[in-house]
Structure 1
Amino acid sequence: MEQRAKAVICREINQPVVVEEIIVEAPRRDEVMIKLVACGVCHSDLSATNGTIPFPPPVVLGHEGAGRIVAVGEGVTNFKVGDHVVSSFVSMCGKCRYCQTGRPQLCDQAGKAMFTLPDGTVRTRDLSGKALNVFSGCGVMAEYATLHTDNVVKIDQQVPLDKAALIGCGVMTGVGAAVNTAKVEPGSITVVFGCGGVGLNAIQGCAIAGARMIVAVDTSDAKLEMAKQFGATHVVNSKSEENVVKTILKLTGGADYAFECVGLGDIAAQAYGVLGKGGTAVVVGVANQKDTTTVKTASLTFGEKTLTGSYFGSARPTEDFPRLIGLYRAQRLKLDELISRTYTVDEAPQAFADLSAGRNARGVILFE
């Protein structure tokens, strides 16, 4: 059962995305076909279009999708037609040492499914018959997508799919950085650099964990106002500060946890710089491959500070996605408020332009 589908494609690096009709092939063994309802427009998608994340074009974008299963391949027993699902851009084989030790976000298989399915092939082609790569084994910025079951998580059918889609990346990455990676403790002091989609979720992750002080840092007053809605107790506009690290140290006395949610080495150094003794700085943003961060080595020893990274919020998707949905249903996790604007698939170029200009917390493409 092939399907024709409109899809958002990066054909050339540093060029606007295009919307084309493509062919999505039927699922093979251990695969499912999803009819997408919604897909978030994530900064990582933008990074694929400008070469920061080196996916070879042409590539079908999208990794933050939600929809319904319309077909299952041979051997699929844990999914059925009609199931509501969210995509996971990290393929989780369940067998490698990372999966076996509770760190599936580092799965060995994921490295083999960066722009194809895990077997090295794709189920997408353009109307001329040329194969199209897919973003992180997903390619869900399309009306239909065929994914391996290792990239799919079943969710409660009562949750609106346009909200659930956000859990597939931005929410999991931000909240997970606070809750899973840093393990923010109640009563702690936290600082979040960058108040885009991931940063706002890091802020609400700190709030959910019970931090008593959450300092949001950004160059946009509008984003800082939004940060307050997600739990920030204090805000700092770094553009108006001569030395943002000194300002934050004076405000906090030294943070227990700091999060870099921009993807710049200099800001990672600032996150480390605002720590008190024993503090942990977590780099969440995806930096350019050539970017570097410099810290004073002695401060690691004498201050017992930690500089670490967080990939996909140290997610265990089959456990964490339902948990986040439970928090949403209990009104402890904000999803509706993250969506600044929705777009049709034909409006995808505008969605990317708005993302690049920093206009949205999260834009969402709706397919129905």
Structure 2
Amino acid sequence: MTQALVATGPGELGVQDVTLRPLGDVRVRIAGVGVCHSDLSMANGTLRPSYPQVLGHEASGIVTEVGTDSTSTGVHLGQHVVLNWAVPCGTCWHCGHGEPWLCSTIEGVTGAPGGTLADGSTFEACLGLGAMAEEVVVRADAVVPLPDDVPLAESALLGCAILTGVGAARNAAQVQPGDSVLVIGLGGVGLSAVAGARLAGADRIIAVDVAGSKEALALDAGATDFLVASPDLAKQVRALTGGRGADQALECVGSAATIRQAWTAVRRGGTCVVVGVGPRDQQVTFNPLELFHFSRTLVSSIYGNSDARRDIEGLLPYVADGSLDLASTITDRITLADVPAAFERMQRGEGGRALVAFPDPDADVDSDREELG
């Protein structure tokens, strides 16, 4: 058995003992798992998952067991890995046309069979992982190898927040050296988007949040300017960008109001990227004349328009040279039992990323090896 955070219904959360599905692929002992807004959307029912569900999808750990189905994949015992919750099939139309983040086989999927609860009922693993647990059993192609010298628990954020935010700036917005970039919403993904704009060489990075307390985090991530959200945001952005507006805006909240603000703050011919996942019951409106006149581009960014197998590896040199600090957005290190409180802070717009940090899994693996002789 392993302990895991289980959502038994909307808003119903608790740590329980669970039995994972039989090993067919890879067992990973979790080192760290981030608390993502998508987990909150699962927990409160916004994404309409099946319950009960073990939450968590942004995680890292160490391989503790490899099944016979995985012997040809190169995965080995003791390997440090990041988990990939969006494994593309490689054969659908989108995969064949270089868009694995839009893979048809994972579109709309919220979970996969994970195992059983103590009462014998089955549970789903969030996005195929269910990583808010001491251990997980996952497909071999859902693990991305890491060098041993990369901080293991903190590398969990490479699996979602960093890949999504950096990818939104570099892949979706295609930020170029010298550009001006607006980032609205400074949670884990938004702060990573700021870092992504900096890595892409943006000259001016304007970070915006409802909480003034986020300023220090934004500046540490690479922002040149910080603004507290207000109705006249577009005017403030234009004042900082020669009267034109930002070249690109990255909206990391997922609400009609902030999408409209981001769009309005972009210059003529600029790009507005929707990164946040919003609800179905809101509408964003545009009039035909402004669409013609401003010639802006409006797109979304799904998982940073990334292929985790390729793009995590591409980020590692930045981690190695210190230009990408995995821990810079982490404001709370917590236990599984603390996750509901972390969700409450997230809803209030407080802090950056919360990270559930488990005991050193390397030490546990070494102990297991000694017991095996």
TM-score computed with the length of structure 1 as normaliser = 0.92
- Partners in 2 of 1:263 and 1:217 — Cα distance? 14
Give the C-alpha shift of residue 55 in structure 1. 1.0
2:105 to 109, 117, 121: 109
Aligned to 1:89: 85
- Partners in 2 of 1:100 and 1:82 — Cα distance? 33
- C-alpha distance 67-256 of structure 1, shift in aligned 2 (>3 A): same
Aligned to 1:159: 150
- CA contact 1:300–1:306 (8 Å) conserved in 2: no
Query: Are 1:249 and 2:238 counterparts?
Result: yes
Query: Are 1:184 and 2:180 counterparts?
Result: no
Q: Equivalent residue of 2:40, what SS?
A: helix
Aligned to 1:332: 323
Query: Unaligned 5+ residue runs, structure 1?
Result: 117-121
Amino acid at match of 1:5: T
- Partners in 2 of 1:124 and 1:343 — Cα distance? 25
- Partners in 1 of 2:44 and 2:310 — Cα distance? 33
- CA contact 1:52–1:287 (8 Å) conserved in 2: no
Give the C-alpha shift of residue 293 in structure 1. 1.5
TM-score computed with the length of structure 2 as normaliser = 0.91
- Partners in 2 of 1:169 and 1:246 — Cα distance? 32
Aligned to 1:7: 4
- Partners in 2 of 1:33 and 1:213 — Cα distance? 44
Aligned to 1:32: 26
Give the C-alpha shift of residue 203 in structure 1. 0.6
- CA contact 2:211–2:350 (8 Å) conserved in 1: no
- Partners in 1 of 2:246 and 2:7 — Cα distance? 40
Give the C-alpha shift of residue 87 in structure 1. 1.1
Give the C-alpha shift of residue 13 in structure 1. 0.6
Aligned to 1:62: 56
2:76 to 75, 80, 102: 80
Give the C-alpha shift of residue 14 in structure 1. 2.8
- Partners in 2 of 1:231 and 1:188 — Cα distance? 14
Give the C-alpha shift of residue 318 in structure 1. 0.7
Post-superposition Cα deviations, 1:81-137, rounded to whole Å, max 9, x if no partner, equal 222111112121222222222221111121374211xxxxx1321011111011111
Aligned to 1:198: 189
Where in structure 2 are the equivalents of 1:1-368 lying within 5 Å?
4-15=1-12, 17-28=13-24, 31-76=25-70, 77-78=72-73, 79-111=75-107, 113-116=109-112, 122-238=113-229, 241-252=230-241, 253=243, 254-368=245-359
Query: Unaligned 5+ residue runs, structure 2?
Result: 360-373
Amino acid at match of 1:214: I
Amino acid at match of 2:348: A
- Partners in 1 of 2:296 and 2:38 — Cα distance? 29
- CA contact 1:355–1:363 (8 Å) conserved in 2: no
Amino acid at match of 2:103: C
Post-superposition Cα deviations, 1:239-265, rounded to whole Å, max 9, x if no partner, equal xx4422222223222111001101101
Q: Equivalent residue of 1:129, what SS?
A: coil
- Partners in 2 of 1:353 and 1:243 — Cα distance? 28
- Partners in 1 of 2:18 and 2:305 — Cα distance? 33
- CA contact 2:114–2:130 (8 Å) conserved in 1: no
Q: CA RMSD in A?
A: 1.5
Aligned to 1:119: none
Amino acid at match of 1:69: V
- CA contact 1:256–1:279 (8 Å) conserved in 2: yes
- Partners in 1 of 2:288 and 2:62 — Cα distance? 50
Post-superposition Cα deviations, 1:320-339, rounded to whole Å, max 9, x if no partner, equal 11121221111111212211
Question: Which range moved further: 65-74 or 297-306?
Answer: 297-306
- CA contact 1:187–1:212 (8 Å) conserved in 2: yes
Question: Which range moved further: 348-357 or 246-255?
Answer: 348-357
- CA contact 1:38–1:365 (8 Å) conserved in 2: yes
